[in-house]
Amino acid sequence: MFSRTVKPKSFICALENVSGIRSIYTTIKKESPRILITGSLGQLGRGLAKILRDRYGRDNVIMSDIAKASWDVLQSGPYLYADILDFKNLQSIVVNERIDWLVHFSAILSAVGEQNVSQALQVNVEGVHNILELCRRNNLRLFCPSTIGAFGPETPSNPTPDLTIQRPKTIYGVAKVHMELLGEYYHHKFGLDFRSARFPGVISADTAPGGGTTDYAVHIFHEALRTGKYKCYLRKDTRMPMIYLPDCLRATVELLEAPADCLSLRTYNISAISFTPEELVAALCNFIPRLEMEYEPDERQAIADSWPQVLEDSNARKDWGWAHEYDLHAMTLAMLEALAPTAKFMAAKQT
């Protein structure tokens, strides 16, 4: 039989079995949303989970993915297996864990998607269908990140506004446009609280490069510190928008928490810094003067050429107060401090 004890700011659901032994499932603060993060073992999930747990409580933020989690992930808070292609699995999690908000990070990225289009269609299209329908049926607030890859070569590239032509040339970009439009449709048709942000390339010291076209801007730090050399798969003058992970995570939280009546759009551009490989090398050489560079463009060059150079994000800044904190120099220094022993670049830092 079920018994329930109600307290002023929380309630406890307990199950009493035939032997009289009670199993307490969870304690929930009424004022805190219950949040599920899919694909949480990727570049953004762990950092976002930490921030949200600090704000809403450790047990109110549930990480999930299809891979076995490390011990540090398991010790940091709740973690579940969640397959976005299995609707019943998702529904059982939402019901059993009483989810209120869902952050959907599961995706196959641009360069990897071009190597396996059928898998990208499954995860990035079919999986999004499941997530949208799940949130509609259960009245969840939904955040799905989009990308600069949602634009194409016909898009104005400098700057790229929120509302403009979108003709992407990768399956990743096509799927993201599909997600943006379907999310907006679900909002207008069913009242779904759908929110999305088009992120630039995300630069992070916490996770290894994951197969994106912008990942050179992460890989170069690892190779510069390990070997003092880097071979870039893009031309040195290829300008793309980027964002440092702490700014990206803060933007996610701010949009997720923004009052609904402040939002004039369902999908926003998010801008921070834009640079070329050559400009990033110049910033790195302030700390690693002997860095050697080669440029050998491959198939990712065509993808990069079809993307924006600078995102125009005045709507995000006006509607919910978005403002980035890291410029190129601050990001470069923060990455080196996170990845390298201080002695490796302290001398250059002081000059």
pLDDT in tens, 64-84: 999 999 999 999 999 999 999
| Conformational region of residue 75, where left means phi above 0, alpha means psi within -120 to 50, and beta covers everything else | alpha
Q: Residue 188: what pLDDT?
A: 98
Q: How open is the CA angle 62-65-66, to the nearest 5 degrees?
A: 145
CA 109 to the chain's CA centroid: 11
- The mean predicted confidence, pLDDT, of the chain is 89
Q: Residue 206: what pLDDT?
A: 84
pLDDT in tens, 196-243: 999 999 999 987 776 678 999 999 999 999 999 999 999 999 999 999
Q: Residue 349: what pLDDT?
A: 52
Residue-by-residue DSSP string for 230-281? EEESS-TT--EEEEEHHHHHHHHHHHHHS-GGG-S-SEEE---EEE-HHHHH
Backbone phi, psi, residue 22, to 5°: -100, 135
Of 139, 123, 107, give the one whose Cα is nearest residue 34: 139
Q: Are 192 and 136 in contact (CB under 8 A)?
A: yes
Q: Are 82 and 65 in contact (CB under 8 A)?
A: yes
pLDDT in tens, 251-288: 999 999 999 999 999 999 999 999 999 999 999 999 99
> Cα(26)–Cα(164) distance, rounded to whole angstroms?
46
Of 287, 250, 251, give the one whose Cα is nearest residue 270: 251
- pTM equals 0.86
Strands (E), 41-96: 61-65, 79-81
Backbone phi, psi, residue 191, to 5°: 80, 15
Q: Which residue numbers are catalytic?
A: 172
Provide the 8-state DSSP code for 311.
Answer: B
Reply yes or no on whether the pLDDT at 15 is more than 70. Answer: no
Please compute, for residue 206, the number of CA atoms within 13 A of its CA located in the half-sphere on the CB side.
15
> Cα(41)–Cα(261) distance, rounded to whole angstroms?
32
pLDDT tier, 21 (very low <50, low <70, confident <90, very high otherwise): very low
Q: Residue 157: what pLDDT?
A: 95
- In this structure, what token pair is assigned to residue 90? 């998702």
Q: Are 136 and 190 in contact (CB under 8 A)?
A: yes
Q: Residue 111: what pLDDT?
A: 82
| Helices (H), ranges, 147-274 | 171-190, 216-226, 245-257
Q: What percent of the chain stands above pLDDT 70?
A: 88
- In this structure, what token pair is assigned to residue 62? 């549930």
Q: What is the largest distance, in Å, between two alpha-carbon atoms of the chain?
A: 73
Provide the 8-state DSSP code for 58.
Answer: G
Q: Are 196 and 184 in contact (CB under 8 A)?
A: no
Q: Residue 26: what pLDDT?
A: 41
Reply yes or no on whether the pLDDT at 8 is more than 80. Answer: no
Residues 6+ apart with CB under 8 A from 293: 229, 230, 231, 232, 236, 277, 281
CA 264 to the chain's CA centroid: 22
Where is pLDDT greater, at 195 or 22? 195
Reply yes or no on whether the pLDDT at 310 is more than 70. Answer: yes
Of 23, 24, 34, give the one whose Cα is nearest residue 93: 34
Q: Residue 213: what pLDDT?
A: 87
> Cα(199)–Cα(173) distance, rounded to whole angstroms?
12
Provide the 8-state DSSP code for 70.
Answer: P
